Structure 1
Amino acid sequence: MRDIERVLTEEWAATPADEWITKLDPADGSPVGQIPVVPPRRVVEAVQAARAAAPGWARTSPAQRAAMVHEAARAIEECADDLAWLTTREMGRPVGQAAESVAAGIGTLRQYAELGPLHRGRSLAGEWGATDLMTYQPRGVAAVITPWNDPVAVSCGLIGAALVTGNSVVYKPSERTPATGWLLGRILDGVLPPGVLTTLSGGPTVGALLTEQPVDVIAHVGSSATGRRIAQAAAVTGAALLRENGGKDPLIVDADVDPAWAAEQAATGAFANAGQLCVAVERIYVHERIAGDFLDELTKRAEQFRMGPGWDPETTLGPLVDLALRELVHDQVREAVAAGAELRCGGELPGGPGAFYPPTVLANCAEAMAVLREETFGPVAPVVTVGSFEEALRLADGGDYGLAASVLTGSVAHAQQAWRELDVGTVKVNDVFGGAPGGAAHPRRASGSGFGYGPELLDEFTTVKVVHLAPAPA
């Protein structure tokens, strides 16, 4: 047990609670700790404390708020190794990749600390003797509910944007990474005024109760099913809503690209973080002209991954977050094979402890299969052979999700056609994980709503007021 686990275990043991979350390492089943679940009254009290702190935080100058967020980024940087270690222990991500994710979260906090004081309204052209303004104001109390697959980076983005725009925050991290969320919340709270940020540990019941409270905005990153329930709660309370939810992101491989390079891109997109990314490649449409070579190369690359615990430096593919997710992934693969898909590699449960699942390549998949319709969130690459680029576009544009899509093509005309016609928030051409910092998009359909990144995220946490100032009569 590392020192950070020992320290947190002592803190948790001293916390009174009627219910506990027992978190196990998905690599070997060893205990990470028992985290106390907050009782319902604590959820209510947290929102009340945030409501009481909101006016003072809103009146704090943007420069002062930004300075505190900068200080928070520095404090997180000092604990970066501990946060990366806990991420690996709780959800299995190789520790080097977990460290990169923590660094991304620190960078995002600093980004919003710089952007916050620059967020501005505008003046309007009104009467000569009057002044007309559109001015931004914080919404008030923000409920921030974050996922387990990238617990530090996503949390830092949403919390950072909420804080610099003058909102108080009630933070509910995922019950699948409770220790990581606990530590992150404790670090942030240590540099902020009382009540400005409160962390709630617990499962779906705690999250559901939070969304039913009188908060002003709910920011959620997670599954589409949870997102729909949150949307229903927000419709009752009137809270503004920001959601980035599930995806079933397609990859289109055109006839004119190098199949080996395309397979490398596909393997990166499908198997990074064991497929546990919202923007993972979850279905592949490859032109029949290169399909054979592409499948051979993709299979070869899948077989090169080394499964193992995330804390082993030789590991390139860690476990899934838990056995429950592994069973869901395996069910989709078994159903596809039974329906006629060709299993090129993987697809079998490994022996021994842990929630490991091998990189899996499926050929000859059909649109009726769950592996092409439902979010998988595992290291599975289902491949469909198509006869034309237009057919690939049509198939890629189907389904309930609309988060992102990738296209590999040497044709400028096809690239233009793809980004214009694909009904998704983000289209990536010739680079499955590329993109300039600060990009923000609107997800479609079951994938959510609102800007989740970039300078536009500041707009989600603020509301606009129009002011008309006219002189009094003499």
Structure 2
Amino acid sequence: MTDLAVQLDLPAAAPDDPHGIRIDNPADGTVVGRIAAAREADVAAAVASAAAARALWARTPATDRAAGLRAAAAAVRDRVDDLARVNQLETGKPLDEARAGVLAGAATLEQYAELGPVHRGKTLLGEVHATDLMVPQPRGVVAVLTPWNDPVAVACGLLGAALVTGNTVVHKPSERCPHTGLLLGELLVPHFPEGVLNCLAGDGSVGRWITSSPDIDVIAHVGSSETGRAIARAAAETGAKVLLENGGNDPLLVDAGVDPEWAAEQAATGAFANSGQICVAVERIYVHRALAEPFLAALTARADRLGLLPLVDARHRDKVHEHVTDAVAAGARLRAGGVLPGEPGTLYPATVLSGCEPSMRLMREETFGPVAPVREVADFEQALAEAGDDRYGLAATVLTRSMDNAQRAWRHLDVGTVKVNAVFGGAPGGAAQPRRASGQGYGYGPELLDELTATKVVHLEPAPG
């Protein structure tokens, strides 16, 4: 196969370039392509370009900024199949899911094109002879660091909100999907003035150079908690505002009285969609003992039917398998999967474990793979207590026929999003505000526009005479 970077006319790296990023196909282990990584001088130039463009872009009418987003969304829609194919080659994401992610990204750009021009401030009641205003203004230069598991949809959300509110941007996609990220940049950049949107490929060192720059005003990061903590430390030195969505350890609570087959279908969707590589994937399951066995039987059957699923790379597969083997060594029982295949690529079987204990890493840490650890509980109170005993705070799902238990759950669980009877339910445009180790600040929705602007209070009154 010809190097994908060469095919797409992206900055390719030579095979012997020590700074190049090599991507292997998770499905069969073949080399997809090699991307040239940005150097420190490239980062400095990109940040300087964004800083130079910020004043003019901030003064650009909101309707004109929105027009740029609409044109960018149209360009993404025109290349939906190319973006989806590249995403599949780099990360193993199923083609239909990759395509849906690209279309979601285009729709998000269009959404912010509508919301941006009507993002408004407030007037305050004061003296009758004076005027008091609260005016939202762009914050300046925004660093956007995006993940590999849904690279187009996530990037378009953060980029769209930042650009339509008058900020300039330096974007670094994950080093696990640089072809996808740079292709997206090639499609978006031409629809904005020079310097407004800058895209760089690179690993963690490039991210550190960006986030440590004193000219960065906001850092928006979706990715691991470890990286999020490093970003927060860097921002404490520079004074940049930080928006973080850093994964979770989302519980699924299965109450007595629900249909175990339906509950197993919900659990399988939550644990195995995109090979479990979703920020709000189901990471741990608490099932009432009254329906534990039929639930486990149905969930195991679904896992067996799915079989092998692609994980993004060998390093990630090793981490997932380590969580599983640690749990088995500590007494968990494998019901499905859990065995490394002897095939090329980085495939891993849909895995179900029963007999899981709260102390297991599988229950305490984010696994981010196609693994469904199940813990049998005596009652809903135990499920609620154990589900809430966690350092993350992203999301949770509750399956119940009891309105009382549903109310108790959403009030008790200290997470940003609680879903009742739909593992991936939610209205379009809804914002999410992660808590604790899962991050801080709103992601998506109209509220993201507030995060990416600063409020200026203005008091106007006439001079004497």
Q: Name the TM-score, length of structure 2 as normaliser.
A: 0.98
Q: Give the 3 Å change call, closer, same or farther, for CA 13–234 of structure 1 in structure 2.
A: closer
Tell me which amino acid in the other structure corresponds to 1:236.
E
Corresponding residue number in structure 2 for 1:65: 65
Corresponding residue number in structure 2 for 1:206: 206
Matched, 1:387 2:378: yes
Corresponding residue number in structure 2 for 1:363: 354
Corresponding residue number in structure 2 for 1:279: 280
2:88/2:95 contact within 8 Å kept: yes
Tell me which amino acid in the other structure corresponds to 1:465.
K
Corresponding residue number in structure 1 for 2:127: 127
2:3/2:34 contact within 8 Å kept: no
Tell me which amino acid in the other structure corresponds to 1:325.
H
Distance between the aligned counterparts of 1:205 and 1:416, measured in 2? 45
Give the drift of 1:12: 2.3
Q: Output aligned runs, 1:46-445, within 5 Å.
A: 46-214=46-214, 215-307=216-308, 318-445=309-436
Give the drift of 1:31: 1.4
Q: Percent identity?
A: 61
1:273-332, CA deviations, whole angstroms, 9 ceiling, x for partnerless residues?
00000000000000000001100110011111153xxxxxxxxxx410001111111111
Q: Name the TM-score, length of structure 1 as normaliser.
A: 0.96
Distance between the aligned counterparts of 2:13 and 2:200, measured in 1? 16
1:46-81, CA deviations, whole angstroms, 9 ceiling, x for partnerless residues?
111100000000000000000000000001111111
2:80/2:99 contact within 8 Å kept: yes
Give the drift of 1:140: 0.5
2:5/2:11 contact within 8 Å kept: no
Distance between the aligned counterparts of 1:304 and 1:53, measured in 2? 53
Q: Give the 3 Å change call, closer, same or farther, for CA 376–13 of structure 1 in structure 2.
A: closer
1:20-53, CA deviations, whole angstroms, 9 ceiling, x for partnerless residues?
1111111111111110011101111111110000
Tell me which amino acid in the other structure corresponds to 2:291.
I
List alignment gaps of at least 5 residues for structure 2: none
1:333-375, CA deviations, whole angstroms, 9 ceiling, x for partnerless residues?
1110111101101000011101101000000100110000011
Tell me which amino acid in the other structure corresponds to 2:169.
V
Corresponding residue number in structure 2 for 1:454: 445
2:349/2:370 contact within 8 Å kept: yes
Give the drift of 1:117: 0.2
Distance between the aligned counterparts of 1:34 and 1:326, measured in 2? 21
Corresponding residue number in structure 2 for 1:463: 454
Tell me which amino acid in the other structure corresponds to 1:455.
P
Give the drift of 1:9: 5.4
Distance between the aligned counterparts of 2:154 and 2:416, measured in 1? 18
RMSD value over aligned CA atoms?
1.4
List alignment gaps of at least 5 residues for structure 1: 308-317
Tell me which amino acid in the other structure corresponds to 2:340.
L
Q: Give the 3 Å change call, closer, same or farther, for CA 10–376 of structure 1 in structure 2.
A: closer
Deviation above 6 Å: which 4+ runs of structure 1? Answer: none
Q: What secondary structure sits across from 2:340 in the alignment?
A: coil
1:9/1:33 contact within 8 Å kept: no
Tell me which amino acid in the other structure corresponds to 1:336.
A
Give the drift of 1:239: 0.4
1:144-177, CA deviations, whole angstroms, 9 ceiling, x for partnerless residues?
0000000000000000000000000000100000
- Aligned residue pairs total 463
Give the drift of 1:5: 5.2
Q: What secondary structure sits across from 1:23 in the alignment?
A: strand
Distance between the aligned counterparts of 1:272 and 1:329, measured in 2? 15
Give the drift of 1:3: 10
Corresponding residue number in structure 2 for 1:314: none
Distance between the aligned counterparts of 1:7 and 1:88, measured in 2? 16
1:9/1:34 contact within 8 Å kept: no
Distance between the aligned counterparts of 2:49 and 2:174, measured in 1? 22
Corresponding residue number in structure 2 for 1:310: none
1:79-129, CA deviations, whole angstroms, 9 ceiling, x for partnerless residues?
111110111000101111100111111101100010000100010001111
Q: What secondary structure sits across from 1:401 in the alignment?
A: coil
1:18/1:39 contact within 8 Å kept: no
